[in-house]
Amino acid sequence: MTRPFDGHTLSPETVAFLDGDMRLLIDGERVEGEAFHETRDPATGIVLARFHVGGKAQIDSAVAAARRAFEGPWGSMAAAERTAILQHLARVMEANATLLTELDVIDNGMPRFIAGLTTANCVEMVDYYAGAILRIEGTTTTPPRHVSAEAEALTYTLREPVGVVGQIVPWNVPLSTAILKLAPALAAGCTVVVKPSEETPLSLLALADMIGEAGFPAGVVNIVNGFGATAGQALAEHPDVDKVSFTGSTATGRRIVMAAMGNLKKVSLELGGKSPVIVMPDADLALAVPGVAMATFFLQGQNCMAGTRIFAHEDIYDALIKGLVQFASGMTLGHGLDPATMQGPLISEAHCGKVMAHIDAAKAAGARLVTGGEKLARPGNFVQPTIFTDCTPDMAVMREEIFGPVMAVQKVATTDLDELARLANDTPYGLSGSVWTRDMAAAHRLVKRVRSGHVSINCHGAVGTNIPFGGYGQSGWGREFGQEGLDGYLETKAVTARL
C-alpha cells in the first residue's frame, strides 16, 4: 500500500514493515488477537496499518507463557547468558534504528530528530541494563543475636527477580516508555507482558520481531496490543502477575492501583505533571528563552515532564515574554518526517479537541493569549505553540495537565526562595521543574525546597539512562532509569545460616 506523508518518503524497510502482518507476540509466536484496530498518521489522518488487538483471553495466554518462561529457561539462565541476549537485542535495535525511528514519527507524530534521539537512548538503555546484570549484588550483615548467641552464623541478602511483570505504556514516546521498563525488568530476571497504547502500536510490533532475533526464550517478552479498558485492565488485575508498571494519566493510575489490589501485586506508576519553571531576575535570557520555550513545547507538550507553569520575575518578565513569543511563533509545524519540523501534530483528533477546550477555558478565565491558540486549517491535529500571560494560580491553565503546546506564565515580584517554592509546590503533582538563574547558590537552595522528583538548573527535563526519574505526590510511585529502575524489579531475600 502506498501512503502519503506530505510528500516525504520512508525507507524501504519501513514501507515493507507497514505491509506486514501485525500480530501479537505471545509465547514466542506471532498470534492473532480477538479483533483488529487501525492506527493513523496524526499529521495526515491516513490509516497506517491494521493491527491485531487482544483482550482478556490473550492476556491470560501471555501471562501463562511469561510464568512458564520465568520458572523455566529465563529463571535458570546464567547471568552472563542473559547479558549476552540483552546486548544482542541492543545490536539488533541499532541495526534497525531507521525503522524504529520512522515508526515512532509516523505513528506518534513526533519530529524525526526527537525520534532519532529516543531510539539511540533506547539502545543505550538496553546496553546499560545488560551491563548491570553482573553487578546485581546482595550484602552480608550481622546475624541476629538469638542465633549468634548459640552458634556461629552467617547472614546475607540475595536480590531476586520480582517475577512476572505487566507493563502498560502510553503513546507519547512509544518505544522509549516501553524500553525503560523492559530493559531493567529483563536484566533483573523478570518476564514481561507489555500492553502498548492502541494509539501507537507500530514500534513495539517491530520490537517484537527483534525480540525473536535477539534470542530470548519463548514467553520471556510478550507484547499484547489492546485497549486499556479490556487488555490493560485484565493485565493490571491478573492474579498471576507479580508487579504492574504503568506510565500514563493520574486518573488511569488510580484505576491500576484498584485493579492491583486483588493479589496485592507491586505497583509502580509514572504519572502526570504540571511542572514549575522559575525564572529569576538575573537569568541569562539567551539560555532561558529557548530553554523555557522547549520546556513546554518539546514533543508538542505531550510530555509528562513538560514545564508549563512559568513563574517569571517582574524584572525580566517583558523581555522573557517577548523572547518566548518570538520563539514560539517562529517554530515550524509540520510532518515529523520533514527535517525542518520543530513541532508535529497532537496524537489524535479527540486529544486535539481536549487541548483546544483548555485554550478556550483559559481565555474565558481571563488569561491573556499572546501567541498561538489556533488549530491549523490543514489535515492532521496541529495546534499552534500557545502562550498565556497574566495567569493566576487559581486558573485551570495553571493547575491542570493539558498535555499540549500550552504555556501559562505568572508574573512574580519576589525573590524570596521560600515564597517561590510555595508557588512552585502549589500543585498535587511533583514530577519535574527547572530554575533559571546565574546565582548557583540560590539555585541549589531553591531546588532543595521544590517538592519534585527531578529538578534542573538552567536546563529542563534533563533525563538520562543513569539518572533516577519519578514523581513526588500524585506524579507517581517509584523511580525508573538508573540503579533505582533496576531495584524496582528486584526483591530482597535475607538469609541467616546457623553454621
* Residues in contact with ligand NDP by the rule CB under 6 A: 168-172, 195, 197-199, 227-229, 232-233, 236, 247-249, 252, 255-256, 270-272, 304, 401, 403
**Block residue for cell numbers 538563574:** 437
Instruction: Note if 81 is an active site residue.
Output: no
Query: How far apart are CB 141 and ligand NDP at their closest, in Å?
Result: 38
Task: Count the Cβ atoms, other than its own, within 10 Å of residue 440.
Answer: 10
Q: Which grid coordinates are listed for 312? A: 517569571
The H-or-E segment that residue 163 falls in is: none
Nearest Cα to Cα of residue 94 among 121, 123, 118: 123
Whole-angstrom distance, CA of residue 336 vs CA of residue 458:
27
Whether the Cβ atoms of residue 165 and residue 192 lie closer than 8 Å to each other: yes
Residue located via cell numbers 506518534:
108
Sign of CA pseudo-dihedral 288, 292, 294, 298? positive
Q: Closest separation between CB of residue 454 and ligand NDP, Å?
A: 13
Cβ 168 to ligand NDP, closest distance in Å? 5
Half-sphere exposure in the Cβ direction for 330 (13 Å, CA): 10
The label of the residue with cell 529516543 reads 118
Closer residue to ligand NDP (CB): 391 or 431 = 431
**262, containing H or E segment:** none
Q: Positive or negative CA dihedral for 464, 465, 471, 476?
A: positive
Measured from the CB atom, is 136 or 169 closer to ligand NDP?
Answer: 169
Select 98 or 348, whichever has its Cβ closest to ligand NDP.
348
Residue closer to ligand NDP (CB basis): 169 or 447: 169
CB of 147 to ligand NDP, least distance (A): 45
Q: How far apart are the first and last CA of the chain?
A: 70
Question: Which lies closer to ligand NDP via its Cβ, residue 218 or residue 356?
Answer: 356
Least separation in angstroms between CB 293 and ligand NDP: 20
Residue 108 or residue 384: which is nearer to ligand NDP going by CB?
108
Rounded to a whole number of angstroms, the minimum distance from the CB of residue 456 to ligand NDP is: 18
Q: How far apart are CA 171 and CA 154, in angstroms?
A: 49
- Catalytic annotation, pick one of 122, 190, 304, 352: 304
In the complex, least distance from residue 304 CB atom to ligand NDP, rounded to whole angstroms: 3
DSSP code per residue over 315-382: HHHHHHHHHHHHHHHTPPB--TTSTT-SB---S-HHHHHHHHHHHHHHHHTTPEEEE---B-SSSS--
Q: Is 44 helix (H, G, I), strand (E, B) or coil?
A: coil
Three-state DSSP at 26 gives: strand
Specify whether 352 is catalytic: no
Burial class of residue 59, CB neighbours in 10 A (0-12, 13-18, 19+): buried
Q: Which is nearer to ligand NDP, 247 or 452 (CB)?
A: 247
Question: Any bridge partners for residue 278, and if so which?
Answer: 311, 435
**Cβ-contact 224, 58 below 8 angstroms:** yes
Q: Taking the complex as a whole, how short is the minimal distance between the CB of residue 326 and ligand NDP, in angstroms? A: 28
Q: Which C-beta is closer to ligand NDP: that of 184 or that of 323?
A: 184
| Catalytically annotated residue among 270, 352, 391, 480 | 270
Catalytic center residues: 270, 304
